[in-house]
Each structure stands twice: as C-alpha cells, then as structure tokens.
Amino acid sequence: DLIKIMITELGHTLKEVRIVDLKQGTFYADLVFENDLRISARPSDSVAIALRVGCPIYAEEPVLDEAGLVMPDEREDEVEKFKEFLESVSPDDFKATDS
C-alpha cells in the first residue's frame, strides 16, 4: 500500500508489471511506468503492487517457455473422456434386462 501511495503522490502511473527473467530458479521482474521507465523489483512485491494499482501483469515468452504450464481446457477434457467412453461401449451395453 505504501508503494501505491508513493507512486500516486509522485505523479507517476504504473502501466504494467513484467516478469522478465528466470535464472537458477529465481524470477526477476520490472515495474514499467509511463515513458517506458523500468525499475527492477522482486516479483512477489511487483505482483502485490500490480494487484493494488490494478495494472496488468505479463511474463516474457522465454520465462513462459521455461516455467509456464499449459492448462487443459476442461471442456476439451470432457469431450475426450466422452469419446473414450463411446469407443469402449457397444449397443449390447444398453440392452434392457429383465428384473
């Protein structure tokens, strides 16, 4: 909150936070202000400031390539499961049985 107040009182605008690098398991971030002024900061602090200020958070492509995870679309997963089900059943599986 202090940093948010300082940014505002000094008349600056935080445009975005960028996660710019990953070296030996340590992430690095930049606070990007107007006129492309960049200040290095810890990613945890940068994300907290971005959330308080309401600015976007981006990660550079090389960082995503190294540390990013692809999250499967739940709908695609459901469709795949249904396709697998259809391949494993036969019409005989749906015959009515006498009780």
> pLDDT (tens digit, 9 = 90+) per residue, 12-68?
999 999 999 999 989 999 999 998 899 999 999 999 999 999 999 999 999 988 888
Q: Write down the pTM of the prediction.
A: 0.67
List 18's β-bridge partners, or say none. Answer: 30, 58
Rounded distance between C-alpha atoms, residue 84 and residue 40, angstroms: 49
* Domain-wise residue ranges, the chain: 2-92
Rounded distance between C-alpha atoms, residue 18 and residue 40, angstroms: 10
Rounded distance between C-alpha atoms, residue 14 and residue 56, angstroms: 9
- Judge contact between 46 and 39, C-beta under 8 A: no
- Topology classification of domain 2-92: Bifunctional nuclease domain (3.10.690)
- Judge contact between 25 and 67, C-beta under 8 A: no
